[in-house]
Amino acid sequence: MSTESSDRKGTLATALARASQFLASDPKKAIEQAREILRVVPEQPQATLVLASALRRTGDLAAALHELDALVKRHPQAVQAWLELGLVLAAQGAPRKSIAALMQATKLDPGRAEAWQVLAEQYLLVGDEAAANAATAQQLKSATKDPALLEAASALCDNKLAVAERLLKDFLKSKPTNVAAIRMLAEVAARLGRYADAETLLARCLALAPRFTVARHNYAVVLNRQNKSQEALAQVEMLLRDEPDKPAYRALKGAALGQIGEYAKAIACYESVLKTHPNQPRAWLSYGHTLKAVGRQRECIAAYRKTVALAPTMGEAYFSLANLKTFRFTADETSAMQALAARSDLSDEDRYHLEFSLGKAFEDQGAYGEAFSHYAAGNALRRKTVAYDPEETSDHLRRCQALFTPDFLAAHAGQGHPAADPIFIFGMPRAGSTLIEQILASHSQVEGTMELPDIIAIARRLSGKTSRLKPSDYPEILATFSPTELEALGGEYLERTRIQRKLARPFFIDKMPNNFLHVGLIHLILPNARLIDARRHPLGCCFSVFKQHFARGQVFSYDQTELGRYYADYVALLAHFDAVLPGRIHRVFYERMVEDPEREVRALLDYCGLPFEEECLHFYRNRRAVRTASSEQVRQPIFREGVEQWRHFEPWLGDLKAALGPVLQDYPAREGPAIGVQNGH
């Protein structure tokens, strides 16, 4: 090699190194340097790559894309070029194109951790959580050099969660501050639905490594999934300080804002994302959910249909339309769903969402047999994805009956927090609780909120359960609490829910249906709270539950026998409290509310100690936000047609009838008083 040739190469290498050094600190300078190199050595690949990366960093995405399109055509084996192309497309808001480029990068180099990380983010934006989890596992594996961690990461990639958990716990015994291992263990916990464990691990991770951005994003997601939305927002704001334009962070902020009832801010957040990244189906879907909550139905439908256009296989988008209840699919939409359901390459999640949607489409057409077959198929698929043991519910019933005796309750009379602010509406889902909430929230002294998770969160903490196998300490642990401790628990609930109260009204509603399981707890810690049981005909209620897909929480609802047994346990538990606390619970029968609304509304207001207000009879004029499946129905006068709708499906409800047993025959005569009058109210 000649000296001149060697010098030229040395000069080029020096120039490239200098240009690369400017990428992070001064991308405009990097552009100048890269263009100077390309003037002397046209199409030099590394200089082109530096130029494209610098252009991306300055926001000139179109110019960066132009350079990269040409570069990958000239050098199709250049891993870094494909990765940079994926980053540019992600920044442009083209997640599917970004995924294609990033997949090419990982195909050429399966160990490229950054490519897997961005790929996971893009999969989440298009709504493919399973693919996102797989990409995250590959990213963890790629970033790992330690052989022991590599084995755990491989188990995580193969979804062998028990194996991964054991390996990671063993590893952390000797290296307790290894943040990569802690984050991996948090990933295992999150996949298992143990979000409290994941939260603890990620908090530890960030204490050790505050600049671990990926862990902070994981932490914010885990907090939001536990309805700790204020805490999640604090983490998201920290992320946005460094990357203010990242759509995943802004979308998460919108979700957290929606959880605390800040709908206007949430809508603005989603609109800002979609303005700059209009091709993200998950953002359109979340935007639609928020529009639904505030009653902007036309725009909500348009957002859901935009999601379908961007992600035609996303079953959740079709189900979101079906879940409007008052919506009717067009013939073309029904045909598209049928064609999609016939494919063999759908994920189970997309498929069960489609089955529930097709059930709604055919029910609206009056094709009840075909509708039921789709509902049954959706439920069977969904049942496979949840862990539920009906014996645990029955055991909880028996333990409550044993603990909450007249003597025990008399011994604790007058204890707890004295506030009378909360009005709890509970019972089975789809029993008319949203209607009751809307009626009460139309009163000038009452604020409606949403299904608040706080009582359940307190009960879960009191249980002391750290795994499914560990016996629960709840409800028996309540017998050990002093009056001061019970009052503190009531105060904790009031403080936790304060963020939901926007109108400074004296009373507010907590409409979490599952709170019926915790009537004893509520009575002990908030003895002056109002307790309202929303009840509906067992077959009408249970079939309405069976044809409803719930995002999370109602794991008893996907099998007719388990559903009927759950309803029977619910009736038995509240019958026990009717016996030991006569008149404490006010019961509203849906059918009676439909038959004579004014009588039932007056009785309801009397129980709550509220004067009658005419607007409560015109609840459908209330424009408040509603975040349940019945949101559109309660914006209309009382829905009479729903009372007997289940009869179209009675031929297929044999298992449900058998599981309900005497509860079905006894409705409503032996299910407690229609009107409860609580002493002192």
> What confidence category does residue 10 fall into, taking pLDDT thresholds of 50, 70 and 90?
low
Cα torsion angle, 309, 315, 318, 320, sign: negative
Q: What is the rounded average pLDDT for all residues in the chain? A: 89
Average confidence (pLDDT) over 23-39: 87
Question: For the residues of 32-60, what is the DSSP string, one character each?
Answer: HHHHHHHHHSTT-HHHHHHHHHHHHHHT-
pLDDT, one tens digit per residue, over 570-629 is 999 999 999 999 999 999 999 999 999 999 999 999 999 999 999 999 888 766 565 554
Q: Which residue has the higher pLDDT, 56 or 5?
A: 56
Distances (CA, A) of 146 to 142, 175, 252, 644: 11, 12, 33, 63
Q: What is the pTM of this model?
A: 0.79
Helix axes 263-276, 281-293, angle to 10 degrees: 150
Task: Tell me what pLDDT residue 668 has.
Answer: 83
d(CA 124, CA 122): 5
Average confidence (pLDDT) over 504-514: 95
If we measure between CA atoms, which residue out of 607, 406, 408, 412 comes closest to residue 525?
A: 412
Out of 59-68, 149-158, 199-208, which region has the weakest mean confidence (pLDDT)? 149-158
Task: Tell me what pLDDT residue 92 has.
Answer: 83
| C-alpha R_g of the chain | 28
pLDDT, one tens digit per residue, over 81-105 is 999 999 999 888 888 899 999 999 9
pLDDT, one tens digit per residue, over 532-554 is 999 999 999 999 999 999 877 79
> What confidence category does residue 658 fall into, taking pLDDT thresholds of 50, 70 and 90?
very high
Cα torsion angle, 562, 568, 570, 573, sign: negative
Domains of the chain with bracketed CATH? 414-629+638-666 (3.40.50.300)
d(CA 223, CA 239): 14
Task: Tell me what pLDDT residue 551 has.
Answer: 79
Average confidence (pLDDT) over 288-297: 91
d(CA 283, CA 327): 21
Task: Tell me what pLDDT residue 6 has.
Answer: 45
Residue 196 reports pLDDT greater than 80: yes
Average confidence (pLDDT) over 149-156: 87
Percent of the chain with pLDDT over 70: 93
> What confidence category does residue 679 fall into, taking pLDDT thresholds of 50, 70 and 90?
very low
Q: Do 226 and 195 meet the contact criterion of CB atoms below 8 Å apart?
A: yes
3-state secondary structure of 177: coil
Residue 568 reports pLDDT greater than 70: yes
d(CA 305, CA 240): 29
> What confidence category does residue 378 fall into, taking pLDDT thresholds of 50, 70 and 90?
very high
pLDDT, one tens digit per residue, over 256-279 is 999 888 999 999 999 999 998 888
C-alpha triplet 572, 538, 540: angle, nearest 5°: 155
Q: What are phi and psi of 580, to 5 degrees?
A: -90, -20
Q: Do 214 and 113 meet the contact criterion of CB atoms below 8 Å apart?
A: no
Task: Tell me what pLDDT residue 21 has.
Answer: 84
